[in-house]
Amino acid sequence: MDMKVKLGFFLLSLFLIPSLGTAARAGGSAAHRNLEVRRHLTRLNKPPIKSIKSPDGDIIDCVHISHQAAFDHPLLKNHTIQMRPSYHPEGLFSDSKQETIGPKPIAQLWQTNGRCPKGTIPTRRTRTDDVLRASSIQTFGKKIHKTIPRPTSASPEPDLITQSGHQHAIAYVEGDEYYGAKATINVWDPKIQQPNEFSLSQLWILGGSFASDLNSIEAGWQVSPDLYGDNNTRLFTYWTSDAYQATGCYNLLCSGFIQINNEIALGASIYPISGYRDPQFDISILVWKDPKEGNWWMQFGKDYVLGYWPAFMFSYLSDSASMIEWGGEVVNSQSDGQHTTTEMGSGHFPEEGFGKASYMRNIQVVDSSNNLRAPKDIDIFTEQSNCYDVQLGKSGDWGNYFYYGGPGRNPNCP
């Protein structure tokens, strides 16, 4: 081999060796991430006693109640499950509240293909793709930004609009001690512009400072392509004890919420859905603090007491809440430099009214005597009423209610 050929091979090797090293490192990094994802899925997806395939593609695993992810929490290792609340805001709790004559109506799509046996809880199986859609394993199942507005008469803090990109249309009360809240919410399937955006309707139980140590318990329905991989409307919960910084998650995607109910799966699709000028379907959500044990309980509809958040997980909410909020929230990522077209609620403004706009009716709070009552001095808040708006009302059948929502981008919301 002559010198020119040898020199050519040498020069070529100078380019190839770093490239091969980079490729090896990339391959090693991918292998490491895949290993981490598999480990995380093992932590989340506990061995099921039974599995049910939902028509929407979900797998619902029936997991033994004592094996649920909640008990991975160090402080819950020796926790004795509270199988029923001591008290209910509508009177002393009785198991008869959950008894109905005949089969219960379908509330979630997966129930069309089966039910979980007693002694288990239904959990939506987390898939590899679900985790990979997150920016990291650490952020999977978490809200990335501070998402609760601080309603005041002054302008909202700049980061609520420009940095976090979250927008709201809410009713709220503050200035008292609150021990829970309730609302009946009609269910829609708002259109989402970008996969990293979401639209939700919920209630918030709040205590502490919005800046650093906010305690929040949240429940309602949401459409979130990033979290679930589709555009289905799903029942969800969320909690945090440090303003969304390190604690908390959606549904059962971390240890915290203890589920006791074998009929409703957090994160599963709600069925049926309201339609524009079509029949309206709503759900009721009640969250209240058990005055004896101190845990925060959640009820879905009139039949399903789902479970509780242990009081020790919170600082401010270990006693009571200082603010209650009800309403809608969307992410406005402004991916194309304009306001998102992601819809809130039905995608229509409040003034369109029943059958067209989203509503929350019979909104109530739980007082220190563990009684449901009408909230006093309700106020409203929205960052941009030309994009999403809220209007209060009161009637005999609906009590305190409001219509809310909107289409996002429109001629008055550029």
Per-residue pLDDT of 216-257, as tens digits, reads 999 999 999 999 999 999 999 999 999 999 999 999 999 999
Asked if the structure places residue 6 within a domain, the reply is no
pLDDT at position 73, please? Answer: 86
The residue range of the domain holding 220 is 50-95+119-149+159-405
Q: What percentage of the chain exceeds 70 in pLDDT?
A: 85
C-alpha closest to that of 133 among 4, 229, 50, 31: 229
Q: Give the whole-angstrom CA distance, residue 52 versus residue 58.
A: 8
| Side-chain-side CA neighbours of residue 144 (13 Å) | 17
Answer yes or no: is pLDDT of 202 > 80: yes
Mean pLDDT computed over 163-189:
93
Using pLDDT thresholds of 50, 70 and 90, give the confidence band for residue 17: very low
Number of structural domains in the chain: 1
Predicted confidence (pLDDT) at residue 18 exceeds the cutoff of 50: no
Give residues with Cβ within 8 angstroms of 123, minimum separation 6. Answer: 45, 46, 60, 61, 62, 63, 68, 69, 252, 265, 266
Question: In 3-state terms, what secondary structure has residue 44?
Answer: helix
pLDDT at residue 10, rounded to an integer: 41
Quote the pLDDT of residue 44: 94
CA distance 111 to 115: 6
Give residue 103's pLDDT band: very low, low, confident or very high (50, 70, 90). Answer: low
Token pair belonging to 120: 């288990």
Q: Does 74 sit behind a cis peptide bond, omega within 30 degrees of 0 on the bond before it?
A: no
Q: Identify the pLDDT of residue 1.
A: 54
Q: What is the mean pLDDT of residues 5-23?
A: 44
Query: If you average pLDDT over residues 390-400, what whole number do you get?
Result: 97
| Cβ 123 vs Cβ 63: under 8 Å | yes
More confident residue, 281 or 12: 281
Alpha carbons 375 and 164: distance in angstroms, whole number: 30
8: how many CB neighbours lie within 10 A of its CB?
Answer: 12
Q: Is the dihedral of CA 259, 263, 269, 273 positive or negative?
A: negative
Mean pLDDT for the chain overall:
88
Residue 9 forms part of a structural domain: no
Predicted confidence band at 152 (pLDDT cuts at 50, 70, 90)?
low
Q: Is pLDDT at 356 greater than 60 in this prediction?
A: yes
56 part of a folded domain: yes
pLDDT at position 102 is 52
Residue 5 lies in a domain: no
Asked if residue 33 is part of any domain, the answer here is no
What residues act catalytically? 218, 329
Confidence at residue 259, expressed as pLDDT on a 0 to 100 scale: 98
Q: What's the pLDDT score for residue 99?
A: 45
**pLDDT tens digits, residue range 321-344?**
999 999 999 999 998 899 999 999
Judge residue 55's burial from the number of C-beta atoms within 10 Å of its C-beta, 0-12 exposed, 13-18 middle, 19 or more buried.
exposed
Residue 165 within any structural domain of the chain: yes
The one-character DSSP state at 370 is S
Overall average pLDDT of the 5-16 stretch: 42
Confidence check: pLDDT of 281 > 50: yes
Decide if 131 is inside a domain: yes
Where b means 16+ CB within 10 Å and e means fewer, 277-307 reads eeebebbebbbbbbeeebbbbbbbbebbbbb
Q: Mean per-residue pLDDT for 249-266?
A: 96
Does 339 reside within a domain?
Answer: yes
- pTM beyond cutoff 0.85: yes
Given a cut of 60, whether residue 46 has pLDDT beyond it is yes
Provide, rounded to the nearest whole percent, the portion of the chain with pLDDT above 90.
76
Overall size of the chain counted in residues: 414
